[in-house]
Chains A and B, each alone.
Chain A
Amino acid sequence: MSQCIVVTSGKGGVGKTTTSANLAVALARMGQKVVCVDADIGLRNLDVVLGLENRIVYDLVNVIEGECRLKQALIKDKRLPNLSLLPAAQTRDKNAVTPDDMKRLVEDMKRDFDWVIIDCPAGIEQGFKNSIAGADRAIVVTTPEVSAIRDADRIVGLIEAHELPEPELILNRYRPGMVHRGDMMSKDDILEILAIPLIGLIPDHEDIITSTNRGMPVAFDDESAVGAAYRRIARRLMGEQIAIPDFTDNATFWNVFKRWMGIKGAQEVIG
């Protein structure tokens, strides 16, 4: 049974696109057939994060307007043959697509793929409405900041108003050391406020930046703790029950001491 997941957040810059790309890669690496859809029309980015920007010919708006077939617009990832991308149009605006268009498109894709992952644009306007139209399930991404959590709370309300099931939370850019010394809201503080289930916790880490620089999502990297965190979320999406580590070991005395001293390499474990 195929599923369509929308990755959303309200606020921009909290990591929706990075999350979408990594969940798609992680699911595809588990042998699932996955299509990732960039719904941010006019500001496409998922292609770059996935490293597929040089292969775009057609886009989502071309498909919806009947200028090409869906298969022509899908870009197959050569590193992972069961992962495809449907890029956003770069020169159009969000109003080129309606929620009904998206519903039909998602239904088409669900015939060929196990997972349809929609990377939702920031905001609560047309792009958001389009993105959730065909979704069966929503993931809300937030960071441990007042502004991001405020917007996440608003988005949770809007998702529930659209009769989607209760969304699940990914807490991104978590810094256990800062939580340990009381300078960042903890996982439990945030869950108390948002009151939705947590499906993943992603530590703030340099690997995200280096992997994005290369167009090679960190979920490909078997050595990376962040990559492993994304792969665990994929397994949870598949229904496995796996504990969610909160990386508090990184806040132990020795690691904190090493960071405090500014010892190189300590950043590696900071999370």
Chain B
Amino acid sequence: MNDLIRRLLGRPAGKSGNDAKQRLKVLLVHDEIDLPPAKMEMMKAEILEVVARYVTIDEDAVTFRLHKDDHRGVALVSNLPVRRVAARA
């Protein structure tokens, strides 16, 4: 009966199945190339540091993720929007 009342009062929105699927996809790609998410963050920071020596990047708009395509290939897909070319020293 408590369960019925809880349901009548409205339960939290469902759809956690899709969360599971997205988490799983990310996890499997990281497992496949043996690069845990924390290490990828380190790599991302280092890459940004190098790129920033040459151009100014819009850091809020940077995307950096592993993508797995249908042929079971993994690619590192990144978008580093450039604000302006840094003045040459």
Binding site for B on A (CB under 8 A): 144-146, 149-150, 153-154, 178-179, 181-186, 189, 193, 195, 260-262
Contacts and interface: CB of A to CB of B under 8 A. Distances in A.
B17 A262 contact: no
Interface stretch (B20-28, B41-49, B52-60, B76-84): B20-28
B71 to A, nearest CB: 11
A22 B14 CA distance: 33
Contacts of A150: 24, 27-28, 31
B17 A178 contact: yes
B39 interface: no
Contacts of A144: 20
A182 B28 contact: no
29 contacts: A144-B20, A145-B20, A146-B20, A146-B24, A146-B27, A149-B24, A150-B24, A153-B28, A179-B17, A181-B14, A181-B15, A182-B15, A182-B16, A182-B17, A182-B18, A183-B14, A183-B16, A183-B17, A184-B17, A185-B17, A185-B21, A186-B17, A189-B17, A189-B21, A193-B21, A260-B7, A261-B4, A262-B3, A262-B4
Contacts of B23: 146
Given A260-B7, A262-B3, A193 B14 contact: no
A193 B17 contact: no
Contacts of B3: 262
Assign chain B's interface to a size class.
10 to 19
Contacts of A185: 17, 20-21, 24
Nearest to A186: B17
Contacts of B4: 261-262
Consensus secondary structure, chain B interface: helix
B34 to A, nearest CB: 12
A267 to B, nearest CB: 13
Given A144-B20, A182-B16, A193-B24, 9 more contacts: A146-B20, A146-B24, A149-B24, A153-B31, A181-B14, A181-B15, A189-B17, A195-B72, A262-B1
Contacts of A261: 4
A123 B83 CA distance: 50
A262 B28 CA distance: 38
Contacts of A186: 17
A261 to B, nearest CB: 7
A149 B27 CA distance: 10
A185 B3 CA distance: 24
Nearest to A150: B27
Contacts of A195: 72
A183 B15 CA distance: 5
B31 A193 contact: no
B14 A182 contact: yes
A263 to B, nearest CB: 10
Nearest to B28: A153
A193 B68 CA distance: 10
Contacts of A145: 20
Contacts of A146: 20, 23-24, 27
Contacts of A179: 17
